[in-house]
């Protein structure tokens, strides 16, 4: 068989399926992992599409590429790839990458605790991994600073009317809406279609009406929606369902009102939620915040200190969670494959918009 690409990966999940590429990708130019991610987006976006679309992928799947670190204090770097963007940071993917690095021996494991730094596109991430008998039992990482942008903003959402939302950065910009605004909607797997429809409409409305700006990453907009609700789990403080878009959302096209629900409790989403709660005076520093995902698994977050980000009040969060390896794979692209970038079908995918990878933030009103 003649192949154009051959890629080695480790399959993992934390509820959410997260692929970690360990070989088969050549040198990527750039002085930082952030620059490498931008180069990949502009010059080899085929890799992202090949790994995440059918027949090798599906809407909820995330993918990571391990790269040599650029930062002198990092043991490894990683580039995050999702269905519509190259995120600056991802909590679940960080936990997955750490698990792969240690359990495959790429980075030597030290029991009972292994400490090192990873370089994400967002910068240096401090890692503490609790290990026993060759297994990573828990990963805790210190994330980049999180901050609140909008508190209790009211937006007009087609089909839903007025919806009150928060917007916060936790490594990505999230629009967060309490699910109790929709009395017939429960955050349970059986309501997945209704959750994605509601979240997609809120996401697009927030993208249109609420401009955001990060001082270090110009042009990045709101790309993820989170529905937040109460939980009856005694081991959790709050429940969430995060919707990851699989294409552009068009109010005039109901088939685009969909996406993939994050199957894990969502690390950056937890950081964004904690930043929003802290800005409202509802979550102090040093208080554990246990965030339950759709499947009942829990990530534990904590705000460890306050910081200033370009004149804006922010907080530094930590997240703790676990991932599990599910397989070791070699993916190939046959030279005669008629779909060198994979494909999508409208039964489970939103329509694909090739002109832009991720939505940009609207310009602030004059």
Residue 155: φ, ψ to 5° = -120, 155
Helix ranges (H only) for 104-241 are 192-209
End-to-end alpha carbon distance in the chain: 59
- Enter the tokens of residue 74: 């990092």
pLDDT at 357 over 70: no
DSSP state of 106: S
Cis peptide before 112 (omega within 30 of 0): yes
Catalytic: which of 2, 14, 90, 255? 90
184 is catalytic: no
* Share of residues in the chain with pLDDT > 90 (%): 90
SS3 135: strand
Query: For the chain, what is the mean pLDDT?
Result: 94
- pLDDT (tens digit, 9 = 90+) per residue, 85-125? 999 999 999 999 999 999 999 999 999 999 999 999 999 99
- State pTM to two decimals: 0.94
* Placement of tokens 């154009």 in the chain: 4
Q: Look at phi and psi of residue 104 and say left if phi exceeds 0, alpha if psi is from -120 to 50, else beta.
A: alpha
- pLDDT (tens digit, 9 = 90+) per residue, 39-91? 999 999 999 999 999 999 999 999 999 999 999 999 999 999 999 999 999 99
Q: Of 125, 67, 134, 115, which is closest to residue 91 (Cα–Cα)?
A: 125
Structural domains in the chain, CATH included, are 3-142 (3.10.310.10), 147-316 (3.10.310.10)
């Amino acid at each position: 068989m003649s192949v154009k690409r051959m890629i080695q990966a480790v399959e993992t999940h934390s509820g959410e399926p997260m692929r970690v590429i360990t070989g088969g990708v050549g040198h990527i130019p750039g002085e930082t992992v952030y620059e490498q991610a931008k180069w990949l987006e502009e010059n080899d976006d085929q890799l992202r599409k090949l790994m995440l679309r059918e027949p090798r992928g599906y809407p909820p799947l995330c993918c990571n590429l391990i790269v040599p670190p650029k930062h002198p204090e990092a043991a490894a770097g990683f580039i995050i790839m999702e269905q519509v963007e190259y995120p600056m940071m991802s909590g679940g993917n960080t936990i997955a990458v750490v698990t792969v690095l240690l359990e495959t021996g790429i980075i030597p494991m030290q029991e009972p605790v292994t400490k090192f730094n990873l370089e994400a596109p967002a910068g240096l991430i401090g890692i503490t991994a609790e290990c026993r008998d060759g297994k990573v039992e828990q990963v805790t990482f210190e994330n980049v600073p999180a901050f609140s942008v909008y508190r209790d903003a009211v937006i007009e959402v087609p089909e839903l009317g007025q919806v009150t939302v928060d917007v916060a950065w936790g490594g990505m910009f999230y629009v967060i809406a309490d699910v109790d605004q929709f009395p017939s909607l429960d955050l349970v797997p059986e309501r997945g279609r209704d959750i994605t429809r509601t979240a997609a409409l809120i996401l697009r409305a927030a993208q249109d009406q609420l401009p955001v700006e990060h001082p270090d990453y110009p042009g990045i907009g709101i790309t993820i929606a989170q529905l937040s609700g109460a939980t009856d789990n005694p081991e959790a403080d709050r429940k969430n369902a995060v919707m990851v878009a699989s294409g552009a959302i068009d109010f005039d096209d109901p088939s685009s009102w969909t996406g993939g629900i994050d199957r894990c409790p969502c690390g950056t989403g937890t950081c964004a939620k904690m930043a929003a709660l802290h800005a409202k005076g509802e979550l102090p520093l040093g208080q554990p915040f246990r965030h339950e995902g759709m499947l009942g698994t829990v990530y534990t977050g904590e705000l460890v200190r306050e910081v200033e980000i370009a004149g804006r009040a922010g907080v530094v969060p930590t997240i703790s969670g676990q991932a599990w390896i599910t397989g070791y794979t070699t993916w190939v692209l046959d030279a005669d494959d008629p779909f060198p970038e994979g494909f999508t079908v409208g039964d489970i995918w939103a329509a694909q918009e090739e002109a832009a990878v991720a939505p940009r933030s609207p310009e602030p009103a004059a």
